[in-house]
Structure 1
Amino acid sequence: MRTLTLDLLRHGETTASGIYQGRTDVPLSEKGSQQMRQALSKGVSWQRILCSPLQRCRCPAEDAIGRSGLALQSEDWLQEYDFGDWDGRALADVYNEQPEQVDAFWRDPQTNPASGGERIDDFSKRVLIGRDRLLDAGDSHLLLVTHGGVIRALIGDCLGMKPAQWSRLKLDHAHFTRLNYYTDRDQVWPELVCCNTATLPD
């Protein structure tokens, strides 16, 4: 039996608060950069670092590899959920225009996708296909610098949670989640080790 440990790190605070960030490529704030430096200051025995190509994930990941010498891979499947027509717009403005649709989305995003946005089933599929490639790759311990939606999709799959329940998961900026996957032939047993922690267990 083989074990794959995935450490999932949500990006730090950005310069754009109160908007649907999604695919909108906003940078980290100075506070967010400091949050990520702190989160990545303790050495962990990762074999590789993978990151979303969006700069709020890519830039701190590049800084981390500069200090560690690890290989870095930018992966499209680690990008945040695409909010479509809402992406980059203020939360308040979208709600004022489409209150019923916004309420329906947060109540059950699987049935009520964001206007012009990614279907939650498609979002989950791309995340899990990316995860499955890692299970097949032969690594044992990886860091993924990514977004809250991606982390929620992976936790949701691990715990059998429906997308309507994902918003119950609190995920702070620059905090870690650890998942273990035990694989044997075609079988996989996932395990949530910790969630939303500032530091990882030894």
Structure 2
Amino acid sequence: MQQTLYFIRHGEPLETGRLLGRTDLPASISGNEQVYAQLQACDAISQVISSPLQRCQTVARAFCESAGLTLQVDPRLSEMDFGDWDGQSYEVLWQSTQSPGIGDFWQSPWQHTPPNGEPMSVFHMRLSDWWQQFTTTASPQNTAIVTHAGVIKQLLATWLGLPEGFDTHLSRLEIGYAKVIKVTVFYDDTGRAWPKVVF
């Protein structure tokens, strides 16, 4: 069995320059239009899964309504919770003398957790749980997943077989607003999933 997955980052938020994790800021009209166009361009989509945050869910729901599909919303696909930093401007965060600071986090996110935020190990685990469940209950249909850059980056580590705790790729990959990461998943005779990132 083989299936194709399209992971789409949400569109540009209504307000930029902020660290958005669980902060539920909507996407701009043009941002939603870009994601909608990406969804339309995906090949033979038969199911759509979305983060519950409105910058993802609003456009995913609109697409499903037009395509006659039922939207699946999964909270495990939410962005990382940045705790006290969530929703703050990058300018304020970079000027802060608090320790750990945002620079510490960007350089070593497994070692530095935002104050009152979600540890990277917990973020990793909830996405690993989602991926494990998704691949053990999969059917041969094309799926679009509307989610966040942090979610996609963490799943990339899983697809590429990077060791737990590896984080160098997080600061070296840029996934722009409304960009698509295509993944084909092959299932062998034992049901094991073999994902390939397609460029």
TM exceeding 0.5: yes
Residues 1:101 and 1:37: Cα distance change in structure 2 (over 3 Å): same
* Matching residue's letter, 1:173: Y
Question: Does the CA contact (< 8 Å) of 1:120 and 1:163 recur in 2?
Answer: no
Aligned to 2:195: 190
Equivalent runs, 1:164-175 vs 2, <5 Å: 164-175=168-179
Unaligned runs of 5+ in 2: none
Question: Does the CA contact (< 8 Å) of 2:107 and 2:171 recur in 1?
Answer: no
Distance, in Å, in 2 between the alignment partners of 1:169 and 1:118 is: 21
Equivalent runs, 1:174-185 vs 2, <5 Å: 174-184=178-188, 185=190
Aligned to 1:85: 84
- Measured after TM superposition, the shift of residue 157 of structure 1 is 1.4
Equivalent runs, 1:1-202 vs 2, <5 Å: 2-42=1-41, 44-98=43-97, 101-140=101-140, 141-161=142-162, 162-184=166-188, 185=190, 187-194=192-199
Paired residue secondary structure (1:118): coil
Q: Which moved more, 1:156-165 or 1:137-146?
A: 156-165
Question: Does the CA contact (< 8 Å) of 2:9 and 2:178 recur in 1?
Answer: yes
Give me the TM-score of the superposition, normalised by structure 2: 0.90
* Matching residue's letter, 2:176: D
- Measured after TM superposition, the shift of residue 126 of structure 1 is 0.5
Question: Does the CA contact (< 8 Å) of 1:10 and 1:146 recur in 2?
Answer: yes
Question: Does the CA contact (< 8 Å) of 2:93 and 2:101 recur in 1?
Answer: no
Give deviations 1:166-192, integer Å, cap 9, x for gaps.
Answer: 221121111100112223326332211
Unaligned runs of 5+ in 1: 195-202
* Matching residue's letter, 2:194: W
Residues 1:5 and 1:40: Cα distance change in structure 2 (over 3 Å): closer
Residues 1:4 and 1:38: Cα distance change in structure 2 (over 3 Å): closer
- Measured after TM superposition, the shift of residue 75 of structure 1 is 0.3
Give deviations 1:10-49, integer Å, cap 9, x for gaps.
Answer: 0000112111110000011122122123222335212210
Q: Which moved more, 1:31-40 or 1:182-191?
A: 182-191
Give me the TM-score of the superposition, normalised by structure 1: 0.89
Distance, in Å, in 2 between the alignment partners of 1:57 and 1:82 is: 16
Question: Does the CA contact (< 8 Å) of 2:2 and 2:187 recur in 1?
Answer: yes
Residues 1:187 and 1:137: Cα distance change in structure 2 (over 3 Å): closer
Question: Does the CA contact (< 8 Å) of 1:37 and 1:60 recur in 2?
Answer: yes
Distance, in Å, in 2 between the alignment partners of 1:48 and 1:41 is: 13
After superposition, the CA RMSD in angstroms is 1.6
Question: Does the CA contact (< 8 Å) of 1:80 and 1:147 recur in 2?
Answer: yes
- Measured after TM superposition, the shift of residue 153 of structure 1 is 0.8
